[in-house]
Structure 1
Amino acid sequence: MTRRVPARRMRMLCAAALLVASTPIVAQFGEPSAAAAPPGQLLPAIAPPGIDHAALGVAQDLSGRPAPLEPTEQRTVCAQPRLNGAPPKEAPVAQRVLDLESAWQFSRGAGQKVAVIDTGVNRHPRLPALQTGGDYVADSDGTVDCDGHGTLVAGIIAARPSPDDAFVGVAPDAEILTIRQLSLAYQAKNKRGDPPPGTIDDSGYGNVLTLAGAVVRAVDFGATVINISEVACAAAGSDTADGALGAAVRYAYERNVVVVAAAGNVQSDGACSAQNDGTGWGSVKTVASPAWFSPYVLAVASVDPSGAPSELSLNGPWIGVAAIGRQIVSLDSKPGGTGLVDAVETSEGLSAIEGTSFAAPYVAGLAALVRARFPHLTAQQVIDRIVRTAHQPGAGRDDKIGAGLIDPTAALTDQLPEQPISANAQSPQAYVPAPPPAPESPWPRRIAVFGSLACLSALVIGYAAAAPYRRRQTNEQLPELDS
């Protein structure tokens, strides 16, 4: 029996999304992870992750049977997303900044299948092309979203337009493949003991191993783009337990599938609490998986509507690009829902929807636009095009927003070399060169973009006080979805 309990604090789904593992997974993952370094002692230096090709077999085995690895049950009530006010008559801020109307002159994503590996995607009239891919949490076909997260992600990617409002997805002609891989509302029936490596939060169900299986499944189901708005955090130098996931994202990359992943959100406590506030791999305190598996993954940071990097966004040398992750509007995830939402109901009122989980689907949608316009490009070339046409207000890339804010029109129109930037796929920054020559000066567009950001900066006055998107946990609050 599920029950509603008061919420004490807010946490972020994107930073706490990969959850409880069963006993067999403990055996697969090996020994418990190393503890964080004591105060005053440096954590071990880390390097870009290698790929364990032998681990792919585990992911392939799981890809063929999308089902929980152990009996599960729903422990909390489902999320209650809400629309705070009337449906927007003007395009939401992210749509305006990205100037999607201009991009749609060149592509609307037709013929592309974007896999949303998430909390499920509820059926919605504005997602008519929804393919079911299965469920690793319970017994659905992937079209149950108790957490109110995957549906929002899918809407940002591919929602059809409506005469009733101005919201629309980035690639409205694309198809969505839904695979339910985690839920903070579910737990294993035989849950016990401390969580093993690869676990971020013990308030729900899902882990890096089932995520690996879902990635392989999405590839085998014909996805051309995969969106992963989930992050498993681990202290630098500890056991990340993500060998199968690394093998799975490389499997996708080598089969010409673009994998887009959220960078992760900084938490007040837990595995994602230490911000990577330096530069380069030597300063990494927190590893974010699968984001750190670049270049097989295009990792996405969040920026505010003002253009500034979002404080909630986890930094890292693996960050590729950024998109707006605040003031989010998307599709209603409630069963039978037909409208929009921009907040979630909590015991303390309505909380805004925000986080790198919702920045990532803007980039996944752009990948679908690029793939539709340039069907001959490889996955690396698509990533290359998105990265090289992004706008960085500083000099070169940085660990906060990578190459900068994406520019859909530039990604669809600029003339760039068709060959990948580097054949060295092991280099995590092989696809981040100096800006290429363009057939015309890029500055008029860049000035327009940052001018728009400056004009929109007033929208965030007072927004810093808004709490992240959350769920109340069992015995404390509903478990939180991404913020």
Structure 2
Amino acid sequence: MIGRALMASLLALHLVAVPAAAAPEDCKPKKGTLKLPASEPWAQKRLDIKNAWRLTRGSGVTVAVVDSGADYHPQVQISKIIDETHTGYRDCVGHGTAVSGIIGARHMSGVPFHGVAPDAGIVMVKQSNKTEGDINKLVSAIDDAVAAKADVINVSVRASDHSALRAAVQRAIDKDIVVVAAAGNVTGPDDEDVPAYPAAYEGVLAVGAATPDGRRADSSNAATPVGVLGPGTDITAPWPGRGYMRGLEGTSFAAPYVAGTAALVRARFPGLNQEQVRRRIIATADGTAGAGTGTGMVNPVLAVTAVLPYEGANAPVVAEPPPVALPAEAIAKVPPRDETAVGVSMAVGAGVLIAIMVAAGLALLVPLGRRRGWRAGRAT
């Protein structure tokens, strides 16, 4: 579901050619900011994403984002845009730019924000130009993602159950694609007990929103069968206008943290099928925290390192990360040979040896001299 707060982004997407189309006249996403605090956003620190990068950054994996388009942003490189709306690539909501950035924004020196899987390829499938969309375009967008040979599909959209939507999701799963979807936000009493689709379909990894302390956010829909939680409050992400939006909230922004983790797992263990990837992410989460939390907060580091007993003979080999090189100053150089000290030591050693020999001789001769009364021996 498209969250209540959306993000303002700053950057340059590198796009493939798309058919010329004019954006709607009311294409005016909220303005973001060009300035970010010096410290990393809490979600990045909580998930310890950079530690997972020691093993994989998602290279070779394609993530399709079914959303509202994507604007240019220096950190977010979109490899392809498919436009079901025929209104051009522009993101008039900000939602698609934000979700894409959470999944795959590149790490840039001096910029505290980065995505989960910065080396993954991002395909944007634009299914709506507004906060609301059409079920038929959503279905077509999922089919487009399948045709684009995505390995992971992120659907941060909430819809009602529909046979065509269910069939499209099943086609994606049958093609061995990991489908990650937002569990939906509770906006009033009318939707508290109503599950969100496609998140509620069998085989979909449904994602709820978590607060920094790991509990379910009040706005996160507990009626949807949640698999895991992702950070979903006070979120920072790229935004149209080459900036960022801060303070975003909702399962829409929690889902891409899990989709990015799925990209890391698929890159790390290419032999796992979509069900094994989904089960691995669920099994390595931080632990349930009550209704609507699944198995708890997603844990990218454990997802790419854990050895799971139930995977048996098909378990991937988990190698130790390469050792970190020691700094040059960590090992002291051997000091040069001190010839003076060596000479003194040898002289002292020789003196001690001579003294021992003299003492031994005296110990032998003195008793003998006493027995002879200190008389000289007879000549022979």
Q: How high is the TM-score relative to the length of structure 1?
A: 0.58
Q: Does 1:147 align with 2:93?
A: yes
CA 1:82/1:94 → structure 2, altered by over 3 Å: closer, same or farther?
A: same
Distance 1:132 1:393 in 2: 37
* SS of the residue 1:82 aligns to: coil
- Runs (4 or more) in structure 1 with deviation over 4 Å come to none
CA 1:331/1:317 → structure 2, altered by over 3 Å: closer, same or farther?
A: closer
Q: Does 1:127 align with 2:19?
A: no
Q: Does 1:229 align with 2:192?
A: no
Q: Give 1:83-482 correspondences, 5 Å limit.
A: 83=33, 86-128=35-77, 130-140=78-88, 143-184=89-130, 206-233=133-160, 240=161, 242-268=162-188, 273-275=190-192, 285-295=193-203, 297-316=204-223, 318-334=225-241, 337=242, 339-342=243-246, 352-394=247-289, 399-416=291-308, 417-418=310-311
Larger radius of gyration: 2
Distance 2:210 2:30 in 1: 26
How far did 1:326 drift? 1.0
Aligned partner of 2:2 in structure 1 is 13
Aligned partner of 1:81 in structure 2 is 31
Distance 1:206 1:228 in 2: 13
Contact persistence 2:209–2:216 (CA under 8 A): yes
Distance 1:214 1:420 in 2: 37
How far did 1:151 drift? 0.3
Letter in 2 for 1:412: V
Letter in 2 for 1:214: A
CA 1:14/1:289 → structure 2, altered by over 3 Å: closer, same or farther?
A: farther
Identity of aligned residues (%): 39
Distance 1:381 1:393 in 2: 20
The alignment yields a C-alpha RMSD, in angstroms, of 2.7
* Corresponding residue pairs, total: 301
Contact persistence 1:171–1:369 (CA under 8 A): yes
Aligned partner of 1:444 in structure 2 is none
Distance 2:145 2:2 in 1: 22
1:33-72 per-position Cα deviation (integer Å, ceiling 9, x unaligned): xxxxxxxxxxxxxxxxxxxxxxxxxxxxxxxxx99xxxx9
Aligned partner of 1:470 in structure 2 is none
How far did 1:205 drift? 5.5
Distance 1:222 1:138 in 2: 22
How far did 1:419 drift? 7.3
Distance 1:124 1:379 in 2: 30
| Structure 2 unmatched ranges of 5 or more | 6-17, 319-380
* SS of the residue 1:81 aligns to: coil
CA 1:266/1:152 → structure 2, altered by over 3 Å: closer, same or farther?
A: same
* SS of the residue 2:235 aligns to: coil
CA 1:15/1:207 → structure 2, altered by over 3 Å: closer, same or farther?
A: farther
Distance 2:181 2:265 in 1: 17
CA 1:254/1:418 → structure 2, altered by over 3 Å: closer, same or farther?
A: farther
* SS of the residue 2:205 aligns to: strand
Aligned partner of 2:332 in structure 1 is none
CA 1:262/1:89 → structure 2, altered by over 3 Å: closer, same or farther?
A: same
How far did 1:252 drift? 0.9
* SS of the residue 1:261 aligns to: strand
* SS of the residue 2:122 aligns to: strand
CA 1:379/1:252 → structure 2, altered by over 3 Å: closer, same or farther?
A: same
Contact persistence 2:183–2:226 (CA under 8 A): yes
Pick the structure with more helix per residue.
2
1:55-92 per-position Cα deviation (integer Å, ceiling 9, x unaligned): xxxxxxxxxxx99xxxx983744112312x83232211
* SS of the residue 1:177 aligns to: strand
Distance 1:315 1:89 in 2: 34
Contact persistence 1:153–1:361 (CA under 8 A): yes
* SS of the residue 1:329 aligns to: strand
How far did 1:418 drift? 3.4
CA 1:326/1:212 → structure 2, altered by over 3 Å: closer, same or farther?
A: same
Distance 1:381 1:356 in 2: 23
Distance 1:362 1:319 in 2: 14
How far did 1:216 drift? 1.3
Q: How high is the TM-score relative to the length of structure 2?
A: 0.74
* SS of the residue 1:74 aligns to: coil
Distance 2:104 2:233 in 1: 18
Contact persistence 2:194–2:224 (CA under 8 A): no
CA 1:289/1:317 → structure 2, altered by over 3 Å: closer, same or farther?
A: closer
Distance 1:353 1:78 in 2: 18
CA 1:302/1:362 → structure 2, altered by over 3 Å: closer, same or farther?
A: same
